[in-house]
Chain A
Amino acid sequence: MSRIIEGLLYSESHEWVKVEGDLAVIGVSDFAQAEMGDITYVDLPSEGDEIQAGEEFGALESVKASSDLYSPVSGTVEAVNEDLESAPEMVNQDAYAAWIIKVRMSDPSELESLLDAAAYGKIAE
């Protein structure tokens, strides 16, 4: 059983969002990391990139698979977790601690269409 944390928002493509004011901290769910297996690389965007909700902003790679990352919100990439470049296994170790990007949201109302922990639990099985 994969872990799901209360209080976070989730997308159907298995990203989580932690809201800090108008900043969205984004990572992937425990379910997603377990499906991928040992993650070997996290393809990150650059700080300052403009991204749209639903648009891909990076990818996770394992030995035999690749999975695109989709942004749950629109906005500007404020920070990327550069630690993941040298230590992608952090995502496997704790998917909720290993945030991937922080986005300054341009339209916080987009958060309303995301799932809460209970709703996400139904699709991450």
Chain B
Amino acid sequence: MGTFAYFPHTEEDIRVMLERIGVPNLDALYSDVPDEFIRKEDYDLPSSMSEDQVRAWFESMAARNTRLKVFAGAGAYDHYTPSVIPYITSRSEFLTAYTPYQCEISQGTLRYIFEWQTMICALTGLDVSNASMYDGPTAAAEAMRMCVASTRKRNTVVASSRLLPNVLEVLRTYSRYSGINLVETSDVAEAVAEGTLDLAGVIVPSINRYGIIESHLGLAQLVHEMGGLLVEYCDPSALAVVKTPAEWGGDIAVGDGQSLGIPLCYGGPYVGFMACRSELMRKLPGRIVGQTQDAQGRRAFVLTLQAREQHIRREKATSNICSNESLMALWCTVYLSLMGPEGMRKLNSICYENSHYLKRELLATGLFSDPFEGREFLKEFVLQPLCDVQKLQQALLDAGFFGALATEEGYVSFCVTERRTREEIDALVKVVKELAL
């Protein structure tokens, strides 16, 4: 004992503590546990590793992965992470703090959440944002629940079948167990206009699974006439230039903040966001930070409207969410601070230029046709392959590219961010051209 770096106890310390408690040994602290449940045998785990061994173990695991140039999106985007961000987010005062329940010593966390809420409102155009959700798809599921909770005795939510596949899957999961009637359709307006549904809400993508920027002209009015709420699923990075949920007349905006400077890291952690009109404020799930004053009249920030939350309202809470993705919200907040309005526009311009260039070049190979000609897109697009998709994907992989993601509809999708250089795009096109020979 005393030989493991994370446990500070010496033999003597343990003796002193046991004596104070009045028990002879550590196992006596478990005298209330039936003996049959006390594990006697060793755990089948590796032996304790030194720090250098731990590092080597992970390096060996990392070496078994293949680094690829990412030409794919589908909800996770390879945007650049400015070096300032990890520098700030790894500060232990942010990293090792708990939820800011003790506001007097958590003003740092509370202030950046307040800034995040403000920026999410700026991007979406809506009035109120919460402190974050787990990821985009779960934020969409929470929005679905919020629609039902906000419209009394209505239970149907219509979801566009052009939402990202993983968003639809999570919506299906949540609706399956909570009894919400989820209707998936390619023509949302038609389904709503029929007027036969007990409509609580409608969920549509801002940019759909084919990369197309959708028009929702007139949809909000129609949904409201039928008594429902309009939810938009958005890429927040794109919202700097594409029409906002507020501009379309929407009530709730959700999506994933990963595109705001969070590096791809396989599953994540990423971060969901959620904003709404002020009338719906008290139906928002999760934590919300508000501004007030301390006893000396100084500006101060606190967690507020907590009566919505599980620790107070238990089974009647708006959601069960407790831990969220606070630190990832800080990643996005620092990112948006650095980028500013001009940086965000420039970033999107580069993505637009790059992706349109790749699309033109791919179409020129004669191996694809364009199923959505003339529709506006930003960084992601799909093509109808006229060649063997598996051969295409394999050729790209062999050359170190990840692209031509196959969709359920038989298309292949590509995404080009500002990180892809003209040389990389040309190299990818060259691989494709060689397939044509």
Which of A's residues lie within 8 Å of B, judged by CB?
A: 40-41, 43, 49, 59, 61-66, 68
Set of chain B residues within 8 Å of A65, measured between Cβ atoms: 307, 312
Which of B305, B307, B316 has most A Cβ within 10 Å? B307
Within 8 A of A (CB), among B258-316: 282, 305-307, 312-313, 316
Knowing A41-B282, A43-B282 touch, does A64 contact B316 (C-beta < 8 A)?
no
Set of chain B residues within 8 Å of A40, measured between Cβ atoms: 307
> Are A68 and B307 neighbours in the complex by a CB distance under 8 Å?
no
13 CB-based A-B contacts, threshold 8 Å: A41-B282, A41-B307, A49-B152, A62-B307, A63-B306, A64-B306, A64-B307, A64-B312, A65-B307, A65-B312, A66-B312, A66-B313, A66-B316
CA–CA, A62 and B313, complex, Å: 12
Set of chain A residues within 8 Å of B313, measured between Cβ atoms: 66
Q: 17 additional contacts, CB 8 Å, given A63-B307, A64-B306, A65-B312? A: A40-B307, A41-B282, A41-B305, A41-B307, A43-B282, A49-B152, A59-B307, A61-B307, A62-B307, A63-B306, A64-B307, A64-B312, A65-B307, A66-B307, A66-B312, A66-B313, A68-B316
CA–CA, A41 and B290, complex, Å: 15
Residue ID in chain B nearest A59 by CB atoms: B307
Set of chain A residues within 8 Å of B307, measured between Cβ atoms: 40-41, 59, 61-66
Query: Between A and B, how many residue pairs show CB distances below 8 Å?
Result: 21
Interface of A, helix, strand, loop or mixed by DSSP: strand
CA–CA, A63 and B433, complex, Å: 65
Residue ID in chain B nearest A40 by CB atoms: B307
Residue ID in chain B nearest A45 by CB atoms: B152
Within 8 A of A (CB), among B101-152: 152
Residue ID in chain A nearest B314 by CB atoms: A66
Residue ID in chain B nearest A66 by CB atoms: B307
CA–CA, A27 and B306, complex, Å: 23
Set of chain B residues within 8 Å of A63, measured between Cβ atoms: 306-307
Set of chain A residues within 8 Å of B306, measured between Cβ atoms: 63-64
CA–CA, A41 and B307, complex, Å: 9
Set of chain B residues within 8 Å of A61, measured between Cβ atoms: 307
Q: Which 9 A-B pairs have the closest CB atoms?
A: A61-B307, A66-B307, A66-B313, A66-B312, A65-B312, A64-B312, A65-B307, A64-B306, A63-B306
Set of chain B residues within 8 Å of A62, measured between Cβ atoms: 307
CA–CA, A12 and B83, complex, Å: 61
CA–CA, A66 and B317, complex, Å: 10
CA–CA, A68 and B317, complex, Å: 12
CB distance from B363 to the nearest CB of A (A): 55
